[in-house]
Structure 1
Amino acid sequence: MSRDPLIRALPLLDLQPGRVVRAVAAGVATLGSALALAALSAWLITRAWQMPPVLDLSVAVVAVRALGISRGVFRYLERLATHDTALRGTTSARTQLYQRLADGDPAAAAGLRRGELLARTGADVDTLGDVVVRALVPIAVSVVLAVAAVGILAVISPASALVLAVALAVSGVAAPWLSARAARLAETSGADARARFSEDAVTALDHAAELRVAGRLDRTVSRAVAAEHAAVEATDRAAAPSAFADAATPLAVGVSVIASLLIGMDLYSSGTMSPMAMGILVLLPLSAFEATAALPAAAVALTRARIASRRILAVLDAAVADPHPGDRELDGPAEVVAKDLRCGWPGGQVTAPLDLDLRPGFRVAIVGGSGSGKTTTLMTLAGLLPPVSGTVQVDGLDLHQVRSESLRRNVGFFAEDAHLFDTSVLENLRVARGDLEEAEALTVLECVGLGGWVSGLPDGVHTTLAGGARAVSGGQRRRLLLARALLSPARVLLLDEPTEHLDADAGADLLRRLLARDGGLVSPQRTVVVVTHQLPEDTSADLVIRVEKAESENALPTP
């Protein structure tokens, strides 16, 4: 397997050879029309200078018009072909990326900062797709056209062809190398800064109200501004090699044209070259460089794509190891048993040993402050994080013996910051169960307190949440996420802060109903574990685990 990250990542685009060939053919036809137009125009100008009968020029005049029109037509076809190939490729890459993240180790995605994960699944995939439009097709077209231009010129003057070949090498090799070096400086220095900017900007946009109340909004915005300035400075440092790259092609064009002119004048004065051949000799190089003019940008695109590929593959390589490679299916009541379980992130705090027996229908509340290890414990029980020590079994099977699909289907972790998509209310609920019907969705939304809100929407459950979570309040978002969890087929529900952002009375009422077997929200046969900061005193929970803020190696005491 190649070590080049770009070569490893290109299969994600699932490029169809036929589509790529059509794009290259359209590009060759576009610049080939320009090359033929330059040669024919040079012949026509010099031949017209000799004032022949006008009918001698009619075919050439019509051909010039045809080439001028065909150039625009082929350019349009080339744009259609390349962008169609690139867009299909990015769609395929994102599909495979999401699928591998879903099927692989959840810690690969969960361990990344939010802004960094957004950058890798968004901007980095776009950068990888750009390699088709900005690099692969232009490079193939330029190679074909450069060979054709040198070959045509060699028929007229081998010396001019040699000069053109050297000039094309400067424009097509040296200039792209300098551009790639500039891009590498800008990308490697600015990638981390842009990731920090994305993280802080998204945090400030999504949680502005909470940050303002906590007095941390200005600090978050300042961090985002500082990260943006760092990215700009990295771009400025790369400006010098980029400037030399921009100057290389005009210099090569000038040298080639002047050299061709001098060689042509010498041959014309000796009587070995016709005026028409001399015109072609001087004007043809101008069109030949049109093919190599795109190569510096292609080198930049390749460099950026290689860096983006490295970041994408880092996530995929981390996710490729399925934490549950077993082949056993869960067919029992989904009883979860933890013994001497210690939970934590690599290099972070570790909870104290925990023994827990979640029998079918059991109701458990985990209460404590932020950073105490509550969410980490839920993720470990769900198999999303490996235990630091101890064991977790479901129906008598260790987690590594159970197939991932079976485990996810029976034990569901529902995060407090789960995503709401820019689609309808109904489709947001179908994330949990794809066969959900409108009537059942309305029933569950009524149960979680959103019946009046949905009835007031223009299209009911078919109303699109423009902007996802930005289309609803914090409380409505929590209720929607709770409805999604209730609709899931999971027999064990692990709910992280389901009543956050609700007013005290409404939140307490929901918690009481979640923790009561006859509360009407969850069937008595399903197990519920709820993480919360504030637990009402009069709940029907079978077990309450109270934890203190995590301190190094002592986070979660045994209940």
Structure 2
Amino acid sequence: MGELMRDVRGMWSMLRLSPWRVAVAVGWGVLALGSGLALAALAAWLIARAWQMPPVLDLTVAVVAVRALGISRGLCRYLERLATHDVALRAMTTARTTTYRALARSHLWIPRRNPAPARQDRSATHLRRGDLLVRVGSDIDDLGAVVVRSFVPIAVASILSIAAVVLLGLISIAAAAILAVALVVSGVLAPWLSARAAAAAERAVRADRAEFTARALTVLDHAPELRVAGRLDDALAAASAASERAVAAEDAAASRSAWAAAATPLSIGASVLGALLIGITLYGPNGGAPGAMTPMALTILVLLPLSAFEAVGPLPAAAQTLTTARAALHRLEGAKAPESDRGPSDTMPVSVDVTPPATGGQTGRGNAGGPPDLPVRVSAGSAARPVSERQGVLATGAPPPGGSVADPSRTDSPESPHPTAALPGPVGASPGRPDARRVAVIGPSGAGKTTLLMAWAGLFGTPVPGVTFFAEDAHLFGTSVLENLRVARGDLTAEEGERALRAVGAGPWLDSLPEGIHTDLVGGAAAVSGGQRRRILLARALISPARVLLLDEPTEHLEAAAGADLLRALLDARSGLVEPERDVVVVTHQLPPDHRADLVLHVDASGQVSTVSRRERNPVSAPREIPLPTS
């Protein structure tokens, strides 16, 4: 019981349920089933009283009340459905957002050579894509269903069962006792059997279900490679076998569910039969005489239990839902990376070391007469390693023995948008991203340019406020062009979206779409060419509210002339493409010679970062002093 209550508190916390909203849903449910209970009692009284053929006016109030209760039952049921689903959908949104944020903060994306022992069995680092899909999909759905199918029905059934027993006790204590026992069997024993059956089924199918999802995703993602290797049929057979094992396990665990399903009808029959026998005994040979049970009371005694079981009928299913939700909760908790479980290998692996320049000299790629270059190296702890050394930084994610690890997202000021990746900059500039409005980063493929941008954005630790990294392979969803742009800003209007697309050169393509910006991209990125996708992603970056834009290869797949024009506009604060007060950092392989970037950095194959060129800060972003006229 203690573990059950702990899990219930965990569900309540993860879903962040509002007690007031849950109480409203329970209230409407009580009114709905309470109307049904009152309707059964009043209808039973009306039938027996009409049998006595009283004046019609004596039955008018009862007839009107029956109609009112019938209407209120349907109306309250509708309102209860609205209230419970509102609570559940809000809770699922919250849980899914929380899970996504936990996954984003975890080190799932950085494989480890030596993961912390405490997390080897339940860390998200060890989950396959299929397992993650189950957690953010069906597991959260199961967790949300617990509100509609467990919490609210259990609360409503508890209240209505007490009310039914009390109401029947006003007529016969013995009949009320029989009803109470029957309700306990139907509302406690049957759900317990159902929960055990659900737990057995969950244990039996959990591994097979996850195996099927993982293998199905493998087939979907790698069908061409599997076909070429001659292993596609084997992969399909393995996925089919996992699915069949899951179905067989569910069937084997269904026997307990059958007993649970039979408990409620048996309880109803026993309660009605017991009430009937007690009623006949109390009615006696002189039915209706003073001191004996009246025909109306006898009818209520027999028919009321039928309505009382309406509230406890859903409880076996509620127990199954609760059991499934508990298993989902445990899996979701296992997908997170609790702070208490983080060992040394879970600390942020990326930091930046600065090698001081030699006095009066230059290193790297400095221009003659220009400022000295400050070589920069991304490292793990105190041991310097180049950003391109995947086996060192990105593959292990662990600091060297005895080494310390710095968090690149820390800044001198909480409001500063610059992560502490100490790069070349003027004296007195705050550590972090270079003190320049327009920065170009060049270098050979695989040198670590993208990794550098991700470190500046704080994606290896805590994301930095105001800084957004736009990847070259960012996802396009299978929805309209406008909704794909709204990923960056939810309140974007169609007119603003069109202006952004035309600003990046997508106007002719936009005009060719049948419904313009509202055209659906069926299949997401598969519906557009590489160049069109790049322009959509660039437009998404332009309309985002980010203070600093980190753009990875924004002009890849564009024709040379158009790509050069876009790069010039991005790196020129006067062009109007990006607001002058916003900072832009661009990674590119095609930097035009006539660019207007404030700073150009080069990352060589060894991960060394050096200054290629630097120009004075663009006067657009600097205050100007206007001279006064002289006489």
TM range (shorter): 0.7 to 0.9
Please report how far the alpha carbon of residue 472 of structure 1 lies from its aligned counterpart in structure 2 after TM superposition. Answer: 4.2
- Give the corresponding residue for 2:464: 406
Q: Deviations over 1:172-204 (max 9, x none)?
A: 001111111121122232233333333333444
1:456/1:110 CA distance change after superposition, 3 Å: farther
Out of 12, 15, 21, the residue aligned to residue 14 of structure 2 is: 12
Instruction: Tell me, yes or no, if the aligned pair for 1:423 and 1:468 is still in contact at 8 Å.
Output: yes
- Give the corresponding residue for 1:189: 204
Q: Distance in 2 between matches of 1:106 and 1:226?
A: 29
Q: Does 1:258 align with 2:315?
A: no
Please report how far the alpha carbon of residue 315 of structure 1 lies from its aligned counterpart in structure 2 after TM superposition. Answer: 2.3
1:67/1:433 CA distance change after superposition, 3 Å: closer
1:528/1:490 CA distance change after superposition, 3 Å: farther
Q: Distance in 1 between matches of 2:246 and 2:463?
A: 41
Matches within 5 A, 1:95-114: 95-103=97-105, 105=107, 107=109, 112-114=127-129
1:176/1:379 CA distance change after superposition, 3 Å: farther
Matches within 5 A, 1:104-143: 105=107, 107=109, 112-143=127-158
Instruction: Tell me, yes or no, if the aligned pair for 2:25 and 2:84 is still in contact at 8 Å.
Output: yes
- Give the corresponding residue for 2:91: 89
Rg larger in 1 or in 2?
2
For residue 247 of structure 1, give the secondary structure of its aligned residue in structure 2. helix
Please report how far the alpha carbon of residue 302 of structure 1 lies from its aligned counterpart in structure 2 after TM superposition. Answer: 0.8
- Give the corresponding residue for 2:310: 290
Instruction: Tell me, yes or no, if the aligned pair for 2:124 and 2:337 is still in contact at 8 Å.
Output: no
Out of 249, 253, 257, the residue aligned to residue 234 of structure 1 is: 249
Please report how far the alpha carbon of residue 136 of structure 1 lies from its aligned counterpart in structure 2 after TM superposition. Answer: 1.1
Q: Distance in 1 between matches of 2:374 and 2:326?
A: 48
Q: Distance in 1 between matches of 2:549 and 2:423?
A: 11
Please report how far the alpha carbon of residue 473 of structure 1 lies from its aligned counterpart in structure 2 after TM superposition. Answer: 6.4
Structure with bigger helix share is 1
Instruction: Tell me, yes or no, if the aligned pair for 1:366 and 1:529 is still in contact at 8 Å.
Output: no
Instruction: Tell me, yes or no, if the aligned pair for 2:41 and 2:303 is still in contact at 8 Å.
Output: yes
Q: Does 1:146 align with 2:161?
A: yes
Q: Distance in 2 between matches of 1:166 and 1:473?
A: 69
1:153/1:269 CA distance change after superposition, 3 Å: same
Letter in 2 for 1:7: R
Q: Distance in 2 between matches of 1:334 and 1:106?
A: 30
Instruction: Tell me, yes or no, if the aligned pair for 1:334 and 1:491 is still in contact at 8 Å.
Output: no
Instruction: Tell me, yes or no, if the aligned pair for 1:20 and 1:85 is still in contact at 8 Å.
Output: yes
Instruction: Tell me, yes or no, if the aligned pair for 2:440 and 2:588 is still in contact at 8 Å.
Output: no
Q: Distance in 1 between matches of 2:451 and 2:530?
A: 23
Instruction: Tell me, yes or no, if the aligned pair for 1:106 and 1:319 is still in contact at 8 Å.
Output: no
Please report how far the alpha carbon of residue 423 of structure 1 lies from its aligned counterpart in structure 2 after TM superposition. Answer: 3.6
- Give the corresponding residue for 1:555: none
Q: Percent identity?
A: 50
Q: Does 1:301 align with 2:318?
A: no
For residue 84 of structure 2, give the secondary structure of its aligned residue in structure 1. helix
Q: Distance in 2 between matches of 1:433 and 1:495?
A: 21
- Give the corresponding residue for 1:199: 214
Letter in 2 for 1:363: I
Instruction: Tell me, yes or no, if the aligned pair for 2:470 and 2:549 is still in contact at 8 Å.
Output: no
Please report how far the alpha carbon of residue 462 of structure 1 lies from its aligned counterpart in structure 2 after TM superposition. Answer: 4.8
- Give the corresponding residue for 2:300: 280
Please report how far the alpha carbon of residue 18 of structure 1 lies from its aligned counterpart in structure 2 after TM superposition. Answer: 2.3
- Give the corresponding residue for 1:337: 378
Instruction: Tell me, yes or no, if the aligned pair for 2:466 and 2:547 is still in contact at 8 Å.
Output: no
Q: Distance in 2 between matches of 1:470 and 1:151?
A: 65
Q: Distance in 2 between matches of 1:197 and 1:457?
A: 39
Instruction: Tell me, yes or no, if the aligned pair for 1:6 and 1:305 is still in contact at 8 Å.
Output: no
For residue 465 of structure 1, give the secondary structure of its aligned residue in structure 2. coil
Instruction: Tell me, yes or no, if the aligned pair for 2:102 and 2:337 is still in contact at 8 Å.
Output: no
1:470/1:260 CA distance change after superposition, 3 Å: farther
Out of 441, 457, 466, the residue aligned to residue 513 of structure 2 is: 457
Instruction: Tell me, yes or no, if the aligned pair for 1:343 and 1:380 is still in contact at 8 Å.
Output: no
Please report how far the alpha carbon of residue 6 of structure 1 lies from its aligned counterpart in structure 2 after TM superposition. Answer: 3.9
Instruction: Tell me, yes or no, if the aligned pair for 2:161 and 2:183 is still in contact at 8 Å.
Output: yes
Please report how far the alpha carbon of residue 333 of structure 1 lies from its aligned counterpart in structure 2 after TM superposition. Answer: 10
TM-score (normalizing by structure 1): 0.72
Q: Distance in 1 between matches of 2:375 and 2:29?
A: 59
Q: Distance in 1 between matches of 2:375 and 2:40?
A: 76
Please report how far the alpha carbon of residue 154 of structure 1 lies from its aligned counterpart in structure 2 after TM superposition. Answer: 1.4
Letter in 2 for 1:421: F
Q: Distance in 1 between matches of 2:385 and 2:268?
A: 74
Q: Does 1:52 align with 2:54?
A: yes
Letter in 1 for 2:90: R
Q: Deviations over 1:267-297 (max 9, x none)?
A: 1127532222111111111111111001111
1:292/1:519 CA distance change after superposition, 3 Å: closer
Instruction: Tell me, yes or no, if the aligned pair for 1:379 and 1:413 is still in contact at 8 Å.
Output: no
Q: CA RMSD in A?
A: 4.6
- Give the corresponding residue for 2:180: 165
Q: Distance in 1 between matches of 2:374 and 2:78?
A: 61
Q: Could you list the runs of 5+ residues in structure 1 that have no partner in the other structure?
A: 351-356, 368-373, 384-393, 500-505, 531-539, 547-559
Out of 467, 471, 477, the residue aligned to residue 421 of structure 1 is: 477
Letter in 1 for 2:481: V
Letter in 1 for 2:464: S
Matches within 5 A, 1:385-404: 404=462
Q: Distance in 1 between matches of 2:244 and 2:339?
A: 33
Q: Distance in 2 between matches of 1:495 and 1:142?
A: 60
Matches within 5 A, 1:515-534: 526=585, 528=587
1:141/1:101 CA distance change after superposition, 3 Å: same
- Give the corresponding residue for 2:442: 363
For residue 4 of structure 1, give the secondary structure of its aligned residue in structure 2. helix
- Give the corresponding residue for 1:24: 26
Instruction: Tell me, yes or no, if the aligned pair for 2:124 and 2:336 is still in contact at 8 Å.
Output: no
For residue 127 of structure 2, give the secondary structure of its aligned residue in structure 1. coil
1:150/1:361 CA distance change after superposition, 3 Å: same
Instruction: Tell me, yes or no, if the aligned pair for 1:433 and 1:489 is still in contact at 8 Å.
Output: no
Instruction: Tell me, yes or no, if the aligned pair for 1:171 and 1:248 is still in contact at 8 Å.
Output: yes
Matches within 5 A, 1:505-516: none
Letter in 1 for 2:195: A
Q: Deviations over 1:451-503 (max 9, x none)?
A: 7655532344553324534544688667866886899877776679x98xxxx
